[in-house]
Amino acid sequence: MRGRTIKVKTWLVMLLAAVFLLAGCGGADDFSTIEVLGEDLVLPSVQGTGAPGGDETSDGTETPDKAGTPGGQASSAESTAETEEAFQEYDISLMAVGDNLMHMGIVNTGKQSDGSYDYSFLFEDIAEYLDAADIKIINQETILGGNEKGFSGYPAFNSPTEVGDAIAAAGFNVVLHATNHAADKKVEGIDSCIDFWKTHPEVMMLGIHKPESEEPVNRVPVLTIGDIDFAILNYTFGPNYEVVSSSVTNRLELLCAVDEKSRAIDYTVINPQVLEDIRTAREIADVVIVCPHWGTENSMTPTKAQEKFAQQMTDAGADLIIGTHPHVVQRVEWLESENGNRTLCFYSLGNYVSTMKGAKNMLEGLAWVTFHVTEEGVAIDSEKTGMLPLVCQYSYNPNRFKKIYLLDEYSQDLASDHGIIPYGGITFSYSDLIGWSEEVIGDWKLTREQILNDLPRVAANRFI
């Protein structure tokens, strides 16, 4: 069942060819171009001073017009038929993964024998989805605060900028930085991270920015794919402290309201700026995507605040919500507002990589959303949309990243060999992963074949 049409674009057919010909408008070129609502309408023009309806050659003789009759005029119906082209429907695909949580075991996995760092291995197991998708989103949980500051893990992270290099090289074109760890290295770390991403202009970095006094803040970034404009917004409930300075709030996109006097965060009230941004995005883009960092860690059930904020975003005009932060997967559902807006909400995708100690932290989701574009507009295609369950595997003593598996390709033998068993001191079973997937993801589960086998063509060849 296909989702609602998000935004309709009206395509005007201009029957001006006959008027131009009858009026004897001429020009030096073979064709005149008129831009109408961003589309180029090409009309035949008349050259020379010959009689209306015919073009003169250099020797003064008339050449046949488009109808093939010397001196004749094409009918308006014929001109319309030739200027109109049948609209070719197409799909735009979006993929998103959750928290790229760079614990020191993951950081050390990327250290090379010569002392350099390389993290291209992090994305090798999802390369075919990156190649197939048009919009590719990752939540960079930990700040890339500057290598000169040294690398650190929990609780105050600082990750190598080579992680960002690998993200860009893998083909991600959207990276989210509005997380509770964004200010782990204070404002200097935020500023350093912003400066780093300027070296990768092909990637849209969201969630942090320099203060307006230094450079203008684009409150509603837009990514254009084909003929469709996607506004993508990113916010976090806050950094890892409840009272925030203005220097942080001037750099970090906040999901929750802040008391102007006490600077305390109110986690129960949405930041009014979020709803204002969504309404603005609704006016300028075809699709509005909101990526909130929210919820309670390790809970597979969304909080009341998540549900309330999601409904408020729906009422404001969001089309798609992709949540991060809980480090575990949460449900997917459609939300509807009284004004008729309908929003698809992924409450949490869980982690992408980590060396966390909880069994549920190892089950994660790759969101896949298909937008179908017709002449009337663009809509989410529910039949080609959902979550692909993944499993993060790491070793112990030392902790090192090993691989990302599809849940469908995982096994009890692999579960028994997982480093989480000695590191976390827990039991870990394939059957539990299956059970959690069925319980939380349910009918929204996708398979590799459903995603890749039905693609019309690889995205890289589609919108060059």
Cα separation, 122 vs 461, whole angstroms: 25
Per-residue tokens: 413: 């033998």
- The per-residue pLDDT for range 384-414, each reduced to its tens digit, is 999 999 999 999 999 999 999 999 999 999 9
Amino acid at 168: A
CATH architecture, domain 92-461: 4-Layer Sandwich (3.60)
Query: What is each CA distance from 308 to 296, 331, 342, in whole angstroms?
Result: 14, 15, 15
pTM greater than 0.85 (yes/no): no
Cα separation, 169 vs 233, whole angstroms: 23
- Residue identified by tokens 């939380």 is 440
Cβ contact 399:423 at 8 Å: yes
- The per-residue pLDDT for range 159-206, each reduced to its tens digit, is 999 999 999 999 999 999 999 999 999 999 999 999 999 999 999 999
Per-residue tokens: 47: 């050259």
Using DSSP, state whether 241 is helix, strand or coil.
coil
- The per-residue pLDDT for range 331-353, each reduced to its tens digit, is 999 999 999 999 999 999 999 99
- The per-residue pLDDT for range 120-170, each reduced to its tens digit, is 999 999 999 999 999 999 999 999 999 999 999 999 999 999 999 999 999
Rg (C-alpha) for the chain, rounded Å, is: 27
In 95-214, where does DSSP find H-type helix?
A: 104-109, 127-132, 161-170, 186-197
Cα separation, 55 vs 183, whole angstroms: 69
Beta strands in 179-220 (DSSP E): 204-206
Q: What is the largest CA-CA distance in the chain?
A: 94
Give the β-pairing of 39-44 and 135-139.
Answer: unpaired
Per-residue tokens: 209: 């920015």
Using DSSP, state whether 420 is helix, strand or coil.
helix
Domain ranges of the chain: 2-83, 92-461
